[in-house]
A and B are shown apart, each in its own frame.
Chain A
Amino acid sequence: MYHLLDAEWLKLRKSKITFIMFVGPIVGMILGLTVSTDMFPDEINHWFSTLMVMNLTYALLFLPLITGVLASTICRYEHQAGGWKQLLALPVTRGKVFIAKYLLLIVLIFAMQVLYLGAVVTIGFIHQYTDPFPMEIVWKSILGGWVATFPLAALQLWMSLMFKSFAAPLAVNVIFTLPAILAVNSEKVGPYYPWAQPFSMMYIGGDTKDVFFIPWEQLITVVGGGFLLFFLCGYIYFQRKAV
C-alpha cells in the first residue's frame, strides 16, 4: 500500500494540483476581505463573523465542487493515455488502487481545509483583530467540513473512474451541490442531504454540545451512511471495470 501511495503521489505532484487546491481558500479569502461584517453586532468575536461570511460560499459551494474536481484530477492522467490498463496489469489489486486513490483524495481535501484555515488567519491579521482566536471552534469547523466531504469524495471518485471526460463527473457534482443552497434553509431536508453536510458541519453557529456542529445521529446516518454507500458502489464498480 505504501508503494502504491508513493507512486500516486509522484503522478499527482507533477500535475496542476496545487493550483486547484488554492482556488477555494483564495476565493474564500477574497470574500472575507471584501464582504463587510458590519451586519454582526460589535460584541461578537470578529473571527466568528468573518468565518460565518467566508463559510457560506466556501462550505456550500467550493468545498463540494473542488472535492469533485480533485477526484477527477487524480483519475485524469489514468484516462488520458491508457494509464488504467498499464496500472492494473501490475501486481496490485484493484481494491488497493481504489483505496489509495480515495486516501489521496481525502488527504488533499484536508490540505485544502488547512489552507482555508490559513486564509482565515491571514484575514484576521490584515484586519488586525484583537479578539481571542476561538481555536476550538475553528478546528471543529475545519475538521467537521473535512469529514462531511467523505461521502461526496467517494461518489465523485466513483464518477471519475467511470467517466473519461472531466465534464460528466463535474455535471453530477453541480447537479447535487446546487440544491444544497436550498437544503440548508430547510429544517426537513437539510439534515438528510449529504451535500448540505459540509456547510452544516462547518457552520459555527450550530449546536456545540456534540463533538461536531451536527448531532451524532446525523453524522453517523447521513455522513457515515452516505460514505458507505458511495464507497462500496465505487469499489465494486472498479472491481468489475474492464480496461
Chain B
Amino acid sequence: MEYIVETRKLTKRFGKEFAVSDLAMKIPKGEIYGFLGPNGAGKTTTIRMLLGLMQPTAGSVRIFGSDLKKDRINILKKVGSLVENPSYYPHLTAAENLEVLRKIYGTEKNRVNEVLEIVRLSDVANKKVKGFSLGMKQRLGIAAALLNRPELLILDEPTNGLDPSGIIEIRNLIKRLPSIYGMTIVISSHLLSEIDQIATTVGIVSKGKMIFQDSIDVMRTFSKQSVVVKVNESEKAWRSLMAKGIQGELHDGKILLVDKTDQEIAAIIRNLVQNGHDIYRVEEDKRSLEDIFLQMTAEEERV
C-alpha cells in the first residue's frame, strides 16, 4: 500500500515526559485521516514533527515516500498546514498575509484571490487581520494552507473555538477538497463528532500512543449493540437469568444485555415472561462512535 505519511517509532520527550511515544502513523493516499485524541494526547506535537518544526527525540518520518530529514524542502513544497491556533501577521491585511506566503512558494499571483474565494474571505481581503474574528482567522489559515495546491493538507484542530455553524462550514469546505485536488488530508480533533462525517480513516492517540488506527468502518464495528430491558423486580429477574447462565448487567433497575443475537434476546424475554415478570420496556442502546472513542481512551487512561 502506498502511504503518503508514514512514521516509525516516532518519539518526543519533554524532560521526563513522553508526549509522543513509538508512534506508527500510516496514512494511505487520498484518505481523510481523522487524528483523534483527548487534550494533551500528543496530536500537535506529532504534527509539529511531521512538518519539521520540532525535532523528534527518536524515530523517523516519511512523507511522499521520502525521508523528512533528508528531503524536507521538496516535501514541504507539496504540503499545506495549519498548526494549532491560526498563524497570521496582525499588521497585514488578509490578502497581504497570503501574498507574503505566495512570494515564498512562488505560486502565481492570482492564486491569492482564488484561495480567498475558496474560504469566502474575498469581501474582507483588504482588511487588517488584527480585527478578524476567530472564525475568519481560522479560514484565513486554511486559505494559506491551500495556497500551494498541496498534495497533503495537515489541519490541526481547524474547528477549535468555532461556533456550530462555523464548524459545519469548515467541515463542508474540507469535504469538498479531496474531490477538487485529489489531496490527502490529516485533520486532528479531540472530538470524534467533528470528523466522523468526513474522515475515512482514523488514528486515535492517547498519552502519546497510537491505540487504534484503521478505517472508520472498522471502528464502527466496535459499536456493540446492547439491549436494555426494564422489568419489575429487576434484581430477582436478573438473578433468574444469571442462574440460567445468561450474562447481563444490572444497572439502575434495568437489565443490560450486551452483544446478543435476535434469537437470544427473544429467548431471554420469553424466559422472563414465563417467570411472571412484567416487561415495561425493551430498548436498543447503540453506542455511538463517540462512546467507543471515549471508552478506548478511558481504558488507556486506567492502564
Partner of A88, one of B53, B74, B91: B53
> Would you call B105 and A242 a contact (CB within 8 A)?
no
| Distance, CA A11 to CA B89, complexed state (A) | 8
Task: Let me know if B90 and A81 touch, CB within 8 A.
Answer: yes
Task: Confirm or deny: A127 has a beta carbon within 8 angstroms of a beta carbon on chain B.
Answer: no
Q: Could you say which residues of chain A place their CB within 8 Å of the CB of B85?
A: 81-82
In this assembly, does A89 line the interface, its C-beta being within 8 Å of a C-beta of chain B? yes
Q: Is B77 an interface residue (CB 8 A)?
A: yes
Q: Using Cβ atoms and an 8 Å threshold, which residues of chain B touch A188? A: none
B91 touches A89 (CB 8 A): no
B interface, size bucket: 20 to 34
Interface assignment of A130: CB less than 8 Å from any CB of chain B: no
Residue A126 at the chain B interface, CB threshold 8 Å: no
Contact B105 A91 (CB under 8 A): yes
Q: Are B48 and A242 in contact (CB under 8 A)?
A: yes
Given contacts A11-B89, A90-B76, A93-B73, contact A85 B53 (CB under 8 A): yes
With A6-B103, A15-B91, A89-B51 in contact, do A82 and B74 touch (Cβ < 8 Å)? Answer: no
For chain A, the count of residues having a C-beta within 8 Å of the partner chain is 25
CB distance from A66 to the nearest CB of B (A): 20
Chain A residues near B206 (CB-CB < 8 A): none
Given that A3-B106, A10-B96 are known contacts, is A82 also in contact with B84, CB under 8 Å in the complex? Answer: yes
Partner of B55, one of A7, A10, A11, A240: A240
Is A7 a contact partner of B91 (Cβ separation < 8 A)? no
Among B48, B104, B144, point to the contact of A3 (Cβ < 8 A): B104
Main SS at interface, chain A: helix
The interface residues of chain B lying within 8 Å CB-to-CB of A14 are 91-92, 96
| Cβ distance A122 to chain B, nearest Cβ, rounded Å | 31
Complex contacts, A86 vs chain B, CB 8 Å:
83, 87-88, 101, 144
* A202-243 interface bits toward B, Cβ cutoff 8 Å, 1 = contact, 0 = none: 000000000000000000000000000000000000001011
> Given A6, A83, A92, A242, which contacts B53 in the complex, CB threshold below 8 Å?
A242
Q: In whole angstroms, what is the CA distance A113 to B164 when docked?
A: 55
B92 A92 Cβ-Cβ under 8 A: no
Q: List 6 A-B contacts (CB under 8 A).
A: A3-B103, A10-B99, A11-B89, A85-B48, A91-B105, A92-B104
Using a CB–CB cutoff of 8 Å, the interface residues on chain A facing chain B are 3-4, 6-7, 10-11, 14-15, 77, 80-83, 85-93, 240, 242-243
Known: A3-B103, A82-B84, A85-B48; 16 extra A-B contacts, CB below 8 A, are A3-B104, A3-B106, A10-B99, A11-B92, A80-B89, A81-B89, A82-B85, A83-B88, A85-B87, A86-B88, A89-B51, A89-B52, A89-B79, A90-B105, A92-B73, A242-B55
